[in-house]
């Protein structure tokens, strides 16, 4: 079972998001310490909550950066989506009903309707957001459209300006 297309993450974006969340964590720690000195416990609580979220996202982006996890893989008979929270989602091409591709200046967003989708909207989302590799998006979009048309899927392309 060979891969047709493997869509990688923008590593510069992941590195900046990880570093940004690290800086945010450190700033919030100092703010919490200052609020603790001034006996302002609501500020300490809000700062600690901010630290929790920034650490959570710092590790999420860092894990993607260092593990090299792709956004998704278009394989021979299935599509594997790694960008969704939790485990990777595998969708059989034969069960996909419709695909919408939304394109803007920095991303290609793919919405997939299938009987296998567990989301209440009925669509799975694959967001290929490449702010630092946007010159490669045209090639990527052409490859994705080629793979989807090879499997005779109904694809609607939407241009966002």
Q: How far apart are CA 2 and CA 86, in angstroms?
A: 24
Residue 20 burial by Cβ neighbours in a 10 Å radius (0-12, 13-18, 19+): middle
Cβ proximity of 50 and 38 under 8 Å: no
CA distances to 74, 98, 118, 155 from 4, rounded to whole Å, are 6, 19, 25, 17
> Model confidence over 109-158: pLDDT tens digits?
999 998 888 888 889 999 999 999 989 999 999 888 888 888 888 888 88
Q: What is the mean pLDDT of the chain?
A: 89
Rounded to two decimals, the pTM is: 0.81
Residues 6+ apart with CB under 8 A from 135: none
Which of 33-42, 77-86, 87-96 is least confident?
77-86
pLDDT at 2 over 70: no
Report pLDDT for 161.
Answer: 62
> Model confidence over 68-87: pLDDT tens digits?
889 999 988 899 998 767 78
* DSSP secondary structure letter of residue 107: E
Q: How far apart are CA 79 and CA 3, in angstroms?
A: 10
pLDDT at 160 over 90: no
**CATH code 2.30.29.30 for 72-159:** yes
């Amino acid at each position: 079972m060979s891969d047709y297309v493997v869509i990688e993450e923008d590593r510069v974006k992941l590195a900046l998001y990880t570093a940004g969340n690290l800086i945010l964590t450190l700033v919030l720690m100092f703010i919490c310490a200052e609020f603790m000195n001034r006996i302002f416990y609501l500020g300490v609580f809000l700062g600690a909550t901010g630290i929790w979220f920034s650490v959570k996202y710092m590790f999420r982006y860092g894990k993607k950066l260092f593990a090299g996890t792709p956004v998704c893989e278009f394989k021979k008979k299935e599509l594997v989506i790694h960008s969704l929270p939790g485990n990777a989602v595998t969708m059989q091409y034969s069960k996909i009903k419709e695909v919408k591709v939304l394109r803007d200046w920095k991303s290609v967003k793919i919405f997939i309707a299938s009987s296998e989708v567990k989301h209440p909207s009925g669509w799975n989302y694959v967001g290929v957001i490449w702010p630092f590799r946007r010159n490669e998006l045209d090639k990527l979009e052409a490859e994705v459209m080629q793979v989807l048309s090879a499997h005779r899927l109904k694809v609607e392309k939407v241009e966002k300006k």
